[in-house]
Amino acid sequence: MTGSIFPHLRALIASAAAVVVAASLLVAAPAGAATAPLSGGVAAVAASQAPASSTAGVVDSSIRKTADLSKFRPGNIIADEVFFDSSTMTVSDINTFLDSKVKVCRSSYACLKSYSQHTPNKNADAYCNGYTAGYSEYASTIIYKVAQSCGINPQVLLTMLEKEQSLVTHSYPDAGRFRAAMGQGCPDTAGCDPAYAGFFYQVYGAARQMKIYAEGRYFTYYAPGKTWNILYNPQASCGRGPVYIENVATSALYYYTPYQPNRAALAAGYGEGDACSAHGNRNFYQYFTDWFGSTQVPTIRLVKASNANEIYLVTGKRKYHITTSTDLQAYMAVLGWYHTSDPGTVAALTNAGTATRFVRDARDGGMYLLEPDGSKHHFTAADQVTRLGFNMAVYTSLGASLIDSFRTGTAVGAYFKAEGDDRFFRWENGTKRHVVNPYAWAQQSAADRAYVATIPAANAAAIPTGVAILPAGMTVREYGSPDVYIAGTGAEIIHLPTWGLARDAGIRDAGVVPSGTLAKNAPVGAKFSAVVACGDVKYVVDGGGLTRVQTAPAGTTITPLPASLCSSIPKTGRAVGEAVLVKTPGADAVYLLQGNQLRHLRSQQRLQEANGNRPLYFFSWSTDTRSGFAVGAPLLADRTFVTLGSPETYFVDKGVLRHVQSSASLLRLAAPQWPTVVDLPAAYRSSYQFGTPIP
């Protein structure tokens, strides 16, 4: 698949390469640095002691701290083959790398990824091949051209830029950081040499200085092949320790930063250590390892030919083609950045197939799934492999050293997601069940949520779609649909007629889900109502939950709910008798639920008659819930007057309506006030009992 993943590298590297947080770091020079043919190459002591710490301007997203400081070798901080390998990155690679470290630049000046300047011509000499001037060249171009000219690994230059001024990860650096970008020409006892001020002069000067150190002509006191007593700190009282310098690159680093980390600095990781800790060379090792992998010549690595886009996993003389961006992320998490090599070297490697994330431990046959965060997850049974679309016979076999580089995570379970898709699914009975939103996800068990496998999109697409996993006890609706449903713990859903009814039942809103999500869920036939049944138990909605009623009002429509819905709706824990007396918060009116009607109780006497000898209790209903019932004839107070759609006036006497046949009787019954007559619809007539007329 020529070019199959290269176009995606910009987005990929943002998550695959860890973002390292650093403070402004500087390094100190040995006392004899003045003998160098170029002044400086060194920086202020104070910053060489500074730990890598988070500052307001430093990006701290997805940092992956993989460097094991127990493996730090003060005599071999970085191999010569790595330090002087200028072919590891192209301009595009450097640009992508810088973009991944700072997503948004907040500087009014520039960030390293966006910095540009006019560059001068530099003549070639014994150390570098010179530099051809350029107009408005980006930092990535400058770093690359300097690396090629001086034969220094561009990864080394990037690491030094971070170690010295946090320029790689800083989101709002000022101009001063660029003027002293590499700490070149900045001695302990004075300000920086103006001849080295500016980003280009800092990078070119520092790279050239490294070649001067490597030559061994002017700098001999940390020469390789000998043991040297190297300071732990600029304060001489902190002592020295013997270090056998194994190679040229390590000696160059000590010329540039002449202190070794003490035990406290190594134990502190990216922290401070103690008062005698110096951090410059420790931080160089950590940044390089966290970003680019081992500082030593790897036996297992990622490579790409300079004239092609294909990236390979190389073990010994064998190469395995990595064909997807997610697979590449996983391998980069433990192996670091890929190396760009000459085409002939890559072509000479033996093709050994494809490197995927479905791998086999060559020692014991254990099957694992690798993740982009550098973790491996064990398949505990063969059916787990096949259900997620993998083939037990098609895998990548990894040796002990590589597979052990991946940290062991939670074993593969029932949950998965497709590459490039944020949706979570649960495998169940041969189908994939979509967990529709964070509410539904939070309701899954903590053990189940410990790991979600990332599988190829084609594998996920091949699994039949099952019933969606909805947020139990909450409402859902599909995009573009007005229909709202209450979800339970199973496949059943029930239509919700009003939001007020949901609130009265204690049901929360969970928002919308993609169209088609509810296609396989089973709507209950009836709509949700104010009175429901869970088996033989009857409930009435009550201001935030369901309250049990001993006997439901006669004639009232009761909606039966399946157990999956009943268990999802909160209960108040209260139980009341037969009468359902209803009030709306903030209103005085009290209603009695009779059949499918609400009847206004217009007096304390009628209220007591309706309630009987039971403790008085009012169900709390919203206006929405009340509107779901017809308003029936009110239960009238005694000694009031009404008409029922005709001129006849009736007097309410102990709940019985009596026709008042004369004006004199009307005035007598109403005395000492003028009678107030309430007009009621004729349809209410059948709801009342009539007594003997009053002449």
Q: Within this chain, do residues 613 and 657 fall inside the same structural domain, yes or no?
A: no
C-beta separation of 301 from 317 below 8 A: no
C-beta separation of 253 from 77 below 8 A: yes
Give residue 6's pLDDT: 28
Most trustworthy range by pLDDT among 3-12, 34-43, 267-276, 370-379: 370-379
Of the candidates 671, 693, 678, the one whose C-alpha atom is nearest the C-alpha of residue 644 is 678
Q: Is residue 614 part of a domain?
A: yes
- Tell me which DSSP letter residue 305 carries: E
Residue 651 confidence (pLDDT) above 50: yes
How high is the mean pLDDT of the chain? 86
Which residues are CB-contacts of 408 (< 8 A; sequence separation ≥ 6)? 375, 376, 378
Q: Which tens digits make up the pLDDT trace of 476-497?
A: 999 999 999 999 998 999 999 9
**Does the reported pTM lie above 0.85?**
no
Least confident of 31-35, 258-262, 558-562: 31-35
Q: Which tens digits make up the pLDDT trace of 180-194?
A: 999 998 765 567 788
Of the candidates 420, 463, 403, 470, the one whose C-alpha atom is nearest the C-alpha of residue 442 is 470
Q: Within this chain, do residues 236 and 95 fall inside the same structural domain, yes or no?
A: yes
pLDDT, mean of residues 674-684: 89
Q: Which tens digits make up the pLDDT trace of 60-70?
A: 333 456 688 98
Distance CA 366, CA 381 (A): 10
Q: Within this chain, do residues 618 and 524 fall inside the same structural domain, yes or no?
A: yes
Distance CA 638, CA 597 (A): 22
pLDDT, mean of residues 670-680: 88
Of 274, 292, 310, the domain-final residue: 292
Q: Is residue 332 part of a domain?
A: no
C-beta separation of 141 from 134 below 8 A: yes
The residue ranking higher by pLDDT, 317 or 442, is: 442
Give residue 21's pLDDT: 24
Q: Which tens digits make up the pLDDT trace of 527-549?
A: 999 999 999 999 999 999 999 99
The residue ranking higher by pLDDT, 419 or 8, is: 419
Pairing between β-strand 492-495 and β-strand 453-455 as defined by DSSP bridges? unpaired
Give residue 344's pLDDT: 87
Of the candidates 282, 264, 263, 281, the one whose C-alpha atom is nearest the C-alpha of residue 272 is 264
Q: Within this chain, do residues 626 and 650 fall inside the same structural domain, yes or no?
A: no
pLDDT, mean of residues 342-365: 87
Give residue 100's pLDDT: 93
Q: Within this chain, do residues 575 and 648 fall inside the same structural domain, yes or no?
A: no
Give the ranges where 216-324 is alpha helix by DSSP (H). 248-256, 263-267, 280-292
Q: Is residue 383 part of a domain?
A: no
Q: Give the count of domains, the chain.
A: 3
CB atoms within 10 A of CB 331: 28
C-beta separation of 658 from 692 below 8 A: yes
Identity of residue 166: S
Residue 466, Cα to own-chain centre: how many angstroms? 26
Query: Token pair 């490039």 is at which residue?
Result: 420
> Domain range for residue 605?
470-633
Q: Within this chain, do residues 486 and 547 fall inside the same structural domain, yes or no?
A: yes
* The two three-digit tokens of residue 459, written as one number: 């594998």
Q: Within this chain, do residues 655 and 603 fall inside the same structural domain, yes or no?
A: no
Q: Within this chain, do residues 183 and 90 fall inside the same structural domain, yes or no?
A: yes
Give residue 654's pLDDT: 86
Which residues are CB-contacts of 22 (< 8 A; sequence separation ≥ 6)? 52, 53, 58, 162, 163, 166, 169, 283, 287
pLDDT, mean of residues 142-146: 97
Distance CA 189, CA 303 (A): 44
Residue 472 confidence (pLDDT) above 60: yes
Most trustworthy range by pLDDT among 11-20, 369-378, 634-643, 654-663: 369-378
Give residue 66's pLDDT: 67
The residue ranking higher by pLDDT, 693 or 361, is: 693
Give 20: exposed, middle or buried? Use CB within 10 Å, 0-12, 13-18, 19+: buried
Q: What percent of the chain has pLDDT over 70?
A: 89
Q: Which tens digits make up the pLDDT trace of 320-333?
A: 999 999 999 999 99
Q: Within this chain, do residues 596 and 664 fall inside the same structural domain, yes or no?
A: no
Q: Within this chain, do residues 126 and 57 fall inside the same structural domain, yes or no?
A: yes
Of 264, 292, 320, the domain-final residue: 292
Angle at 542 between CA 538 and CA 546, to 5 degrees: 40
Give residue 43's pLDDT: 36
Distance CA 336, CA 640 (A): 90
Q: Which tens digits make up the pLDDT trace of 576-609?
A: 987 899 999 999 999 999 989 998 988 888 888 8
Q: Is residue 16 part of a domain?
A: no
C-beta separation of 409 from 452 below 8 A: no
Give residue 190's pLDDT: 67
Q: Which tens digits make up the pLDDT trace of 407-441?
A: 999 999 999 999 999 999 999 999 999 999 999 99
